[in-house]
Structure 1
Amino acid sequence: MSADPVPDDLWERIAPLLPARPARRHRYPGRLPVSDRVALAGIVYVLRKGVAWRDVPIQIVGCSGVTAWRRLRDWTEAGVWPRLHEVLLAELREAGLLDMDDAAIDGSHVRALKRGDHVGPSPVDRGKPGSKHHLIVDRHGTPLAVALTGGNRHDVTQLLPLLDAIPPIRGLRGRPRRRPRRPLADRGYDYDKYRRILRRRGITPRIARRGVAHGSGLGKTRWVVERTFAWLPQFKRLRIRYEICADLHQGLLQLACSIICLRRLRTSF
């Protein structure tokens, strides 16, 4: 981890999206609030290191974990993270780094140590409480949308919600791009009902069929979603779900996807 957890390029993109704080009282102003950049540093520190909020080192970050958690809560309610992701996707499309002709979809289980929304018995972890990360990426593995559900939800139930969650991606002249041409998925999405729905939307599904010998050829292009799932555990807070509030874990998940998009922008120069 670099000395500055919030690099300039990340701060320049997120600062215009943050909600304005209420004006201070003149008679009893109280203690000066922690700056937004310092609070964001605390959030990124927890996201990358995976420490508990109470264990955030004030001497290194500059604020307490409670302060960082409160800003995460407020900014999540204000919808900062989806807008940040949309801004970065537009920049990628403008730079010619986004290829939405093919999009890969998949889901991954994470253990949930606490109860809360979108928690259910995981069928791959002996029925222990868990959640699922559902992800759709472009041909290069760039996250387009992400969703959180209970660990007992079937992958195919999030096929259409993930496609609908892709924001209108601008960056080029003309209409914004909102959907891929060919979504690729494994046998867990093999339902003719969903194939018909996708075709009615003008989307050509490429989904492996159950009961057919391996060798469908989709692995040549679908592997990028597995690689993106391998990138997410680099943010240690996402390896296990600690947040009781599902929207806070979703916010951290969206922030991690935004950082992945920012990394791709950096490597293009």
Structure 2
Amino acid sequence: MIPRAVAGRPRVEDRQVINGMVYKIRTGVSWRDLPERYGPWKTVYTRFRRYALHGVFTRALQQIQASADAAGDIDWLVQIDTTIVRAHQHAADTGRKGGSIDRTNRNDHALGRSRGGLTTKIHLACDGKGRPLAVLLTAGQRHDSVCARPLLERIRVPRTGRGRPRCRPDHVIADKAYSSRGLRAYLRRRNITHTIPEKQDQMGHRRNRGRRGGRPPVFDRATYRRRNIVERCFNQLKGFRGLATRYDKTATSYEAAVSLASILLWARSV
């Protein structure tokens, strides 16, 4: 999956360069401070940026998911949740006032203002074993429920043989932030069962309407206890210091770093 140049100077070994990328997101050091054993820092950065723009890490993540799915190793009891990441001052200089410096990204580069200052929100869908299936980046002030549908539509596990990629979970677990009539209707249209607690104000509105309020949504407390798995997945991802604080200026580079860390989480379990 790694693109290779046909001609040019002798190429630094791919394993050496990728190890440098892993070291960078594990420790959170700047590119210029990479140890010499990984080769020239500019070579490591240039390849990382090229792989990010071409979606190499995303395709690699899908391939390892496909191998696990073929072996029956994916638990399709999917959990979704979000976490907020503070942006470093180096990530804030994206040229937003004068226009985006990267035409492949939105103008906001998934950076926004929230209670924590300049932040990015990571929306994550993981399987029942706590391994990432899909990732979506937004600005820190975006509400969770608004991004639930595009996040679920990013789940795409290819088949190793013939057949369409699997995109539909068996069951979805989420917290109260995702409690909305629109999301529940979307899940019903896709024949996806779900366990989402109802908010107190929604309960009151439904009861006040009497018969017109309809029946309360089905909620299984035993199934909901498994929602802690997605929290543990976030803990593992934030074990990478380059992800716990965002240093990347563009959303493409930061999402590629999250995908690379997700690949490492999958590699530990297969």
> When the two structures are superposed, what TM-score results if normalisation uses the length of structure 1?
0.82
- Once residues 24 and 253 of structure 2 are traced to their aligned partners in structure 1, the CA distance between those partners, rounded to angstroms, is 13
- Once residues 158 and 227 of structure 2 are traced to their aligned partners in structure 1, the CA distance between those partners, rounded to angstroms, is 22
Name the residue aligned to 1:18. Answer: 2
Using the TM superposition, give the Cα deviation of residue 173 of structure 1 relative to its aligned residue in structure 2, in angstroms.
6.9
Residue 19 of structure 2 corresponds to residue 41 of structure 1: yes
Using the TM superposition, give the Cα deviation of residue 167 of structure 1 relative to its aligned residue in structure 2, in angstroms.
1.4
Using the TM superposition, give the Cα deviation of residue 41 of structure 1 relative to its aligned residue in structure 2, in angstroms.
1.6
Using the TM superposition, give the Cα deviation of residue 217 of structure 1 relative to its aligned residue in structure 2, in angstroms.
4.1
- Once residues 45 and 59 of structure 2 are traced to their aligned partners in structure 1, the CA distance between those partners, rounded to angstroms, is 19
1:135-190 Cα deviation digits (max 9, x unpaired): 00111112111111111111112211111111133247755421102111000001
Identical columns (%): 36
- Once residues 168 and 93 of structure 1 are traced to their aligned partners in structure 2, the CA distance between those partners, rounded to angstroms, is 8
Name the residue aligned to 1:190. Answer: 179
Q: Residue 96 of structure 1: SS of its match in structure 2?
A: coil
- Once residues 192 and 132 of structure 1 are traced to their aligned partners in structure 2, the CA distance between those partners, rounded to angstroms, is 23
Give matches, 1:229-248, under 5 Å: 229-248=234-253
CA contact (8 A) 1:106 1:135 kept: yes
Q: RMSD value over aligned CA atoms?
A: 1.9
Letter in 2 for 1:108: T
CA contact (8 A) 1:182 1:205 kept: yes
Residue 189 of structure 2 corresponds to residue 204 of structure 1: no
Using the TM superposition, give the Cα deviation of residue 36 of structure 1 relative to its aligned residue in structure 2, in angstroms.
2.1
> When the two structures are superposed, what TM-score results if normalisation uses the length of structure 2?
0.82
CA contact (8 A) 1:42 1:64 kept: no
Using the TM superposition, give the Cα deviation of residue 248 of structure 1 relative to its aligned residue in structure 2, in angstroms.
0.3
1:34-72 Cα deviation digits (max 9, x unpaired): 2222221211110112111111011x32x1222211101
Residue 118 of structure 2 corresponds to residue 142 of structure 1: no
- Once residues 167 and 88 of structure 1 are traced to their aligned partners in structure 2, the CA distance between those partners, rounded to angstroms, is 12
Residue 49 of structure 2 corresponds to residue 92 of structure 1: no
- Once residues 220 and 41 of structure 1 are traced to their aligned partners in structure 2, the CA distance between those partners, rounded to angstroms, is 37
Using the TM superposition, give the Cα deviation of residue 93 of structure 1 relative to its aligned residue in structure 2, in angstroms.
1.4
Letter in 2 for 1:37: R
Structure 2: where are the runs of 5+ without partners? 95-108, 204-218
- Once residues 207 and 239 of structure 1 are traced to their aligned partners in structure 2, the CA distance between those partners, rounded to angstroms, is 27
Higher RCO structure (Cα 8 Å, ≥6 apart): 2
Name the residue aligned to 1:11. Answer: none
Name the residue aligned to 1:121. Answer: 113
Q: Residue 62 of structure 2: SS of its match in structure 1?
A: helix
| Equivalent residue in structure 1 for 2:45, among 56, 69, 78 | 69
- Once residues 264 and 242 of structure 1 are traced to their aligned partners in structure 2, the CA distance between those partners, rounded to angstroms, is 28
Using the TM superposition, give the Cα deviation of residue 22 of structure 1 relative to its aligned residue in structure 2, in angstroms.
3.8
- Once residues 174 and 137 of structure 1 are traced to their aligned partners in structure 2, the CA distance between those partners, rounded to angstroms, is 22
- Once residues 64 and 86 of structure 2 are traced to their aligned partners in structure 1, the CA distance between those partners, rounded to angstroms, is 29
CA contact (8 A) 1:82 1:254 kept: yes
- Once residues 224 and 36 of structure 1 are traced to their aligned partners in structure 2, the CA distance between those partners, rounded to angstroms, is 33
Letter in 2 for 1:224: I
